[in-house]
A and B are shown apart, each in its own frame.
Chain A
Amino acid sequence: MTDNEYRKMYDKDPLKAQTALFDEYLGYVYAIVYNKLRSCGSSEDIEECVGDVFSAVFISYDRSGSFDGDLKGLIGTIANRTAIQMYRKLVRHSDTVYIENETAELADTENVEENAERSVLKNTLLKLINSLGQPDSDIIIQKFYYNMNSKEIADKHSMSPASVRMRCSRALKKLKELLANEGYEMKEGNI
């Protein structure tokens, strides 16, 4: 959906336009929010944050009458910022007293070398996961990144949960072999 398409639809029926935009970008927004909050928030927190994001997007349009520039980019930016705000709120409510100092320290002493290494690791892992091919790569991501259970994955792939468990087990074994070939070892705590 482009800015123009949204405007035309909005002029005819605002609710319909908002629902269409919501449906088109729900997965995108959810993934961004999930990525930020997965370590500290519940699924309710994530859903709450998704609501905040779309509400902010709709308000943004209502105030200016258009989306400035790339619609997807705007939604991504709002989602990212809203998720970070929610993350800070959630962490502050937990027992982590020094989070503000810690965040500041991280920002100040940004370790370029460490970030670069982390980026390489990310790319390597994603490359190897993708090399597993479909649907194994999807199953691995859904299982270990999105924390979906076997039944949810099974529903998405029209498989039985038992088949998903079996495929996942084999794919993980293969992924470990691929990582070993690249000189890495899978952390057991992640499995």
Chain B
Amino acid sequence: MNDKKKIGFDILENSDINTIEEIGTGKMNIDKNARERMLKNTMNKYEAEKKRLGIAQDTTSENNENADSVTGVEVYERRRLPHFIYIGLCSAAAIALTIGSITMLNRRKPDAPEIQTPVAQVTSTAATTSTGISTTTASSKEAVTVIAAATETSAASAKDTTAATTTAADRSDKTGGDTETAAGNTTSDTTVSAAYTNPHTDRTDITQEELDAAAVRAVKQLINDNDGFKNPNVAQPDPTLGVMLRYAFYDVNGDSVPELFIRHNYALGNAYMYVYDGNDYVTARFNGHDMNGNETVQETVLSVVEAFSADNTIGMMGHQGGSQSFILYMGDDNTITPLYEYTLYRSYKDGRLSEEYTYDGDLGKFGEFLDMYRSYGERELNWIEYDLNEN
């Protein structure tokens, strides 16, 4: 039996003044706005109370000048302060507007089509394109795709289906050989992957215990979703090791809420990155491209998912020499945007097709990607081993 006396911080409630001083009156963090608010409130109450008690009249003979100056100064301060704030805000707004406009103009490439929504895939081999309208009808009846109007307009002039979804700018960049893989597989090559907005929390009172509990919940859910964890004999690559699972916290995007990384070695192993939504760790997602060049929403789950040393970046690498690998950027609000993508047939930069090639058995193209991937540098995390027997 536990006969220890219970004690809590509530014991400090209703302390006497000496105890309060011992606790530390200076420990209270009163920010500038609160201080201003309270001072203003105090002076209002003071003025009202003075009038009510008639103190201003009583002290007229001695303090009339001072009393007037108090009122005067307060009114003067009120008028002057908003004036400065007004000028400051106007200046800041003007500067921000100018800088923002310049940045927007610099970032916006003239040949970039305006895509308002992610484009779904077309898998038909003979698509006919209607002009100027945002629908494409596939004659093979395999798929119907909705494409943003801006892309469609430029595509409308194309003579063949291979180029039907390729903008003029894209065509000029390509060599003749490019059509080999494109034939029979019209793709969403002209699309630019939009940033995917993942769940995010603005809570600032999150405790480490809360995060620990959420991490364990995510781990347990992962284990429950994969029956193989219950059979350690199938663990690979070395079945004698059994299944191992570990997790780590790391704040990728510097929003002070750490992301959760999980790794295990079951069935060749997998890695995961989760974001915290205020209650739970949930799988993060992003708009990427699959092996067929179609834009799809993908999860941050692959053989390798790692935080890079470079700020706000993570890397993901698939099995078999990186059949599909990514370098991703994570914004402060948990939005994820692909910086570089590699697949066996195509590579992408900033969500846009940068190169198309036939599969290189020697993985030469992957080698180029890998060099860049490695240049980001893996960040060492503090891994916590999870005891699978607990589940």
Seen from chain A, the residues whose Cβ lies within 8 Å of a Cβ on chain B are 10-11, 13-15, 18-19, 22-23, 26-28, 30-32, 34-36, 38-39, 47-48, 50-52, 54-56, 58-59, 62-63, 76, 80, 118, 121-122, 124-126, 138, 141-142, 144-146, 148-156, 160-162, 165-166, 168-169, 179-180, 183-187, 189-191
Inter-chain CA distance A64–B267, complex, in Å, is 84
Known: A161-B256, A186-B7. A26 touches B30 (CB 8 A): yes
Contact B46 A32 (CB under 8 A): no
A–B complex contacts, Cβ < 8 Å, 24 sampled: A14-B66, A14-B70, A27-B30, A28-B21, A31-B27, A32-B25, A35-B12, A35-B20, A50-B41, A62-B50, A121-B7, A126-B22, A141-B27, A142-B27, A145-B9, A145-B12, A148-B29, A150-B204, A150-B256, A153-B29, A161-B204, A166-B208, A168-B207, A184-B7
Contact A160 B256 (CB under 8 A): yes
Inter-chain CA distance A23–B31, complex, in Å, is 12
Which residues in A have their C-beta under 8 angstroms from that of B70? 14-15, 18
Inter-chain CA distance A155–B29, complex, in Å, is 9
Which residues in B have their C-beta under 8 angstroms from that of A145? 9, 12, 23
Which residues in A have their C-beta under 8 angstroms from that of B174? none
Which residues in B have their C-beta under 8 angstroms from that of A34? 28
Which residues in A have their C-beta under 8 angstroms from that of B207? 150, 165, 168-169
- Decide if the interface of chain A is mainly helix, strand, loop or mixed: helix
Contact B7 A179 (CB under 8 A): yes
- Decide if the interface of chain B is mainly helix, strand, loop or mixed: helix
Contact A168 B208 (CB under 8 A): yes
Tell me which residues from 19 to 44 in chain B have a Cβ below 8 Å from any Cβ of chain A: 19-31, 34-35, 37-39, 41-44
Q: Distance (Å) between the CB of A66 and the closest chain B CB?
A: 13
* Contact pattern, B 169-202, Cβ under 8 Å of A = 1, otherwise 0: 0000000000000000000000000000000000
Contact A122 B45 (CB under 8 A): no
Known: A141-B27, A185-B7. A122 touches B15 (CB 8 A): yes
Inter-chain CA distance A51–B8, complex, in Å, is 31
Q: Distance (Å) between the CB of B283 and the closest chain A CB?
A: 22
Known: A15-B69, A28-B25, A183-B4. A165 touches B30 (CB 8 A): no
Contact B28 A27 (CB under 8 A): yes
